[in-house]
Amino acid sequence: MEITRFELEFPASNGGHDIFACIWRDTDCKHYKGIVQLVHGMAEYILRYEEFAKYLARKGYIVCGNDHAGHGLSVENKSDLGYFGKRENSWQYLIDDMNYLEGMMRLEYDEIPYFMVGHSMGSFLTREYMALYGDKFDGAIFIGTGYVNPLLDFGISLAKYKAHKNPKQRGELIDKIAFGAFNKKIDTANTKFDWISTDSKIVEKYVNDEKCGFLFTNEAYRDLFLLIKKVNSVKWAKSMPRNLPMLLISGSDDPVGDFGKGVRKVYEMLKKAGCINVDIKLLHGVRHEILNDIKREKVYAILYNWLEKNI
C-alpha cells in the first residue's frame, strides 16, 4: 500500500492567484470506495488535514481538498491572507472553487459515492454547498459547526461599516468581539488559541504557523458573518435535500457550537424542515478541532464508520 499525495492548481474564481489543491489516494487500490472532499476552516489550510486524509486513503477512499482563496498556498503573498475577493458575499468565490474541484474529481472518477466534509468555516460553506448541490452527494459531514450568535447582527453591521471605510484593512476589532471570549471556559489557557484543541502540541504548531490564525479583512469578516446568517435560516434548512445523509459532529467544549447547544439547534432546525437522515454526535471533553484532538484516532473511526454506513 502506497498513499500518494498529488498536488495541483486551478484558476481561482475571483481572478486572483491560482487555487492550490491536493488529492490523496492509495495508488495500489483497484476499486475505490468513494471520494471525500475536505473543506478546511478559517485561517488554516488543507495540508493540516493530511493525517486524516491518509487515514481515509488507507481505507480505500480518494480524498481531495483545496486551500480557499486567501488561505494557505492559494495566495500571491502574505498580504492576501484573509481576503476572498472584491464583492459582497465573496464567500461565493470559495463555493465556486469547491465546485471546480468537485467537477475535476467527478470527471476523473465517475460513478462512485461522493461525500463532502467541512470543518468550522468549511462547515458553513459545506452547508450552503449542500443546499445548492446536495442532490448529487451521498452524504455530508459538518464538523465544528454552529448556530447564530446573539451578537451576529451587530457583528454584521460593524463589519459592513468597517468594510465600507477600509475594505482590506485587518479586522482586529471585529475579531476581538467575535472570538475574544472563546478561551473563557479554559482555566489554564496559555495562548489565545487554546480553545481549538486539547492537544497542546497542536496549539503550539498553530500559533507558530504563519499560515494559521491570521486576521481576516473587514470585507471577509462581513461576508463570513453573512454566510453564517444565511445557513442558519429556516429558508436554508428547507432548501436542503430531504434524504441527504448528514452528520453534525462537534466537541462538547467547542465555543463555535456554543458547547453543543448551537449544534443541537442546527440539528433540530434540519429535522423540523423535514430532513429525515440527520445524525448528531457531541464528543465529551473535546474542543473545536476534533480532527486534531488528543482523541483524534477515535474521531477518525467514528467518521469512517459513518461513511461506510452511507456508501
Segment 258-268, tens digit of pLDDT: 999 999 999 99
Residues in a beta bridge with 141: 117, 247
- The CATH number of whichever domain residue 292 belongs to comes to 3.40.50.1820
The total number of structural domains that make up the chain: 1
C-alpha distances (whole Å) from 115 to each of 4, 211, 233 are 20, 27, 23
- Is the dihedral angle over the CA atoms 25, 31, 33, 35 positive or is it negative? positive
For residue 64, what are the domain limits? 3-309
Reading the block at residue 83, the C-alpha cell is 481576503
Confidence (pTM)? 0.98
Is the pLDDT assigned to residue 228 strictly greater than 90? yes
In order, the DSSP letters of 227-293 are HHHHTTSHHHHHHS-TT--EEEEEETT-GGGTTTHHHHHHHHHHHHTT--SEEEEEETT--S-GGGS
Q: What is the biggest distance separating any 2 CA atoms in the chain, rounded to whole angstroms?
A: 56
pLDDT in tens, 172-188: 999 999 999 999 999 88
Report the SS3 class of residue 64.
strand
Residue-wise pLDDT tens digits, 76-100: 999 999 999 988 899 999 999 999 9
- Strand-strand pairing, 114-119 and 34-39: parallel
Residue with cell 473545536: 288
